[in-house]
A = this chain, B = another copy of it.
Amino acid sequence: MRGIARLARELGVSTATVSRALNGNPNVNAETRQKVLETAQRLGYAANQAARSLAQGVTHSVGLMIELDQESTSSTDYFFMGVVEGMQGVLAAHGLDLLVLPCAKSQDNFTYLQRFVSRGAVDGMILAETRRIDRRIDFLQASGIPFVTLGRSDSGSGYSWIDLDFEAVMATAVDRLVRQGHRRIALTVPNNDANYGAIFAEAYRDNLVRHGLTVDETLVFPTRRREDDGDSVVDGLLDRPDPATAIILFYEVTAIGIYRRLAERGLKPGRDLSIIGLRGEDSVRFLTPQVTCFHLSLQDLGMAAARAMLAQIPMTASDVSSGVVQCRVPLSLVPGESDGPAPGG
Contact = CB atoms under 8 A, between A and B. Distances in A.
A97 B114 CA distance: 14
Given A68-B81, A80-B80, A120-B50, A73 B115 contact: no
Interface string A262-302: 00000000000000000000110110000000000000000
A185 B291 CA distance: 35
Contacts of A226: 282
A30 interface: no
A73 B68 contact: no
Interface stretch (A41-49, A149-157, A204-212, A314-322): A41-49
Interface in A85-140: 85, 87-89, 92, 97-104, 107, 114-116, 118-121
Contacts of A73: 81-82, 282
A50 B53 contact: yes
A282 B46 CA distance: 43
A59 B53 CA distance: 13
17 contacts: A46-B115, A46-B118, A48-B120, A49-B50, A49-B53, A49-B119, A50-B59, A68-B81, A73-B82, A76-B81, A77-B81, A87-B102, A88-B102, A88-B104, A100-B100, A257-B286, A260-B286
Interface of A: 44-54, 59, 68, 70, 73-74, 76-77, 80-82, 84-85, 87-89, 92, 97-104, 107, 114-116, 118-121, 226-227, 256-257, 260, 282-283, 285-286
